[in-house]
Amino acid sequence: MRLQQFSNLPILGAVLGAMFFPTVASCVEMQVSTTILLGKGTCSIVSVTPATFTPALDPISAANRTADATITVNCKGLGNKTGTVALQRQNTNPLNLHNTLTPTDTIGYSLNLPGSTPVTNNTDVPITVTATILGSAYQNAAAGIYTDSVGIEVLP
Amino acid sequence: MKKMMKLALLALVGVLAAGNAMAATTDVNVTATVSEACIATTITDITIGAIDPTTDTGTLDSASHAGSTQGQINVVCTAGTAVNFTALPSVDLTGTTNGDTLTVVPILPAGPATPGIAGADYAVNASVTQAQYQSVSADTYTGTFTVTVAP
């Protein structure tokens, strides 16, 4: 019993020392480092406007026509540096607009995706995607509305 | 030491998370409308052959009367587009010398027609009644009328 009380003294002393006496801090510098990658997930799509051929296609004149879609992206993690993004299709299937009433009626078209677009950190950057229909592709098309939906991937 | 290890681990997790994130994707809609367009062109004007009011009888037309030339138009339309032909029910021709009026009736192709993008030619004629050509003086009569081709 007496021995136990004695053995507790150093602990008590330490507590008192902490409470009533200045302590000498022990400092050590700890280096912390990390790398923020400009990974695929750092760019997000803010908005998308569709490509609409306006005015309507006139098969008699059958001129080549273009329509622009805009994909606005925002990339984070660039700091004060400039990065680039590229767009690519999610697949390589042939591009065809389908008649909304008779989907087997199609009009072939192409899509021009910019290879590389500069972006800055946390800034909305509109990227234009141009759809082109050649006159020969719709010259024999029946009247109607034709639509398609294309999967686009934004790549850092 | 434990704290330092935790910090390093967290940083590593952050790096892995960024590297494995999914790419941003979207669907872009593309829409086009093909119009029901048509264009008509006159190939041949109508001529009703010379009429002799003393010997000709009945209604005469450019399709069958001697010396006549049928009118002809070419029509091109969007594939599959059916069209109808319309014009005023009567047209007044004017005597080039005396200014008399001779009324004729357009004879239009039966519709609907589907000329397609390759186009097709259609005959257009005009007729004149006996009462009309017997009521005017001898002269050459001319006039024009418009044929409307529309879906």
For residue A92, the domain's CATH number is 2.60.40
pTM > 0.80: yes or no: no
The CA–CA distances, whole Å, from A73 to A42, A49, A152 equal 10, 12, 12
Average of per-residue pLDDT across A57-86: 93
User: How far is B127 from B125, CA to CA, in rounded Å?
Assistant: 7
Contact A129 B19 (CB under 8 A): no
Look at residue B4 and tell me if it is in a domain. Answer: no
Contact A149 B29 (CB under 8 A): yes
Are A146 and A52 within 8 A, CB to CB? no
- For position A2, what pLDDT does the model report? 40
The dihedrals phi and psi of B145, each to the nearest 5 degrees, come to: -140, 160
Give the domain range for residue A121.
40-155
* pLDDT band per the 50, 70, 90 thresholds, residue A5: very low
* Token pair of A128 as six digits: 């234009």
Give the domain range for residue B123.
38-143
Are A117 and A76 within 8 A, CB to CB? no
Higher pLDDT, A29 or A87: A87
Provide the shortest C-alpha distance from residue A115 to chain B (in Å): 16
Look at residue A80 and tell me if it is in a domain. Answer: yes
State whether residue B148 is helix, strand or coil. Answer: strand
Q: What percent of chain A has pLDDT over 70?
A: 75
Largest CA distance in chain B: 127
| Surface of A (106-145) touching B: CB under 8 A | 107, 109, 111, 129, 131, 133, 138-145
Look at residue A27 and tell me if it is in a domain. Answer: no
| Surface of A (14-73) touching B: CB under 8 A | 30, 32-37, 39-45, 48, 50-53, 55-60, 65, 67, 69, 71, 73
Look at residue B27 and tell me if it is in a domain. Answer: no
- For position A27, what pLDDT does the model report? 61
Contact A51 B20 (CB under 8 A): no
A37 sits in the region (left: phi over 0; alpha: psi -120 to 50; else beta) called: beta
Average pLDDT, chain B: 87
A:B CB pairs within 8 Å: 164
The number of domains in chain B is: 1
User: How far is A82 from A121, CA to CA, in rounded Å?
Assistant: 7
The number of domains in chain A is: 1
What residues have CB less than 8 Å from A45, skipping those under 6 apart? A71, A72, A73, A154, B24, B25, B26
Q: What is the pLDDT of residues B2-54, one digit of tens each?
A: 444 343 433 333 333 333 345 789 999 999 999 999 999 999 999 999 999 99
Average of per-residue pLDDT across A35-47: 69
Look at residue A119 and tell me if it is in a domain. Answer: yes
Contact B79 A35 (CB under 8 A): no
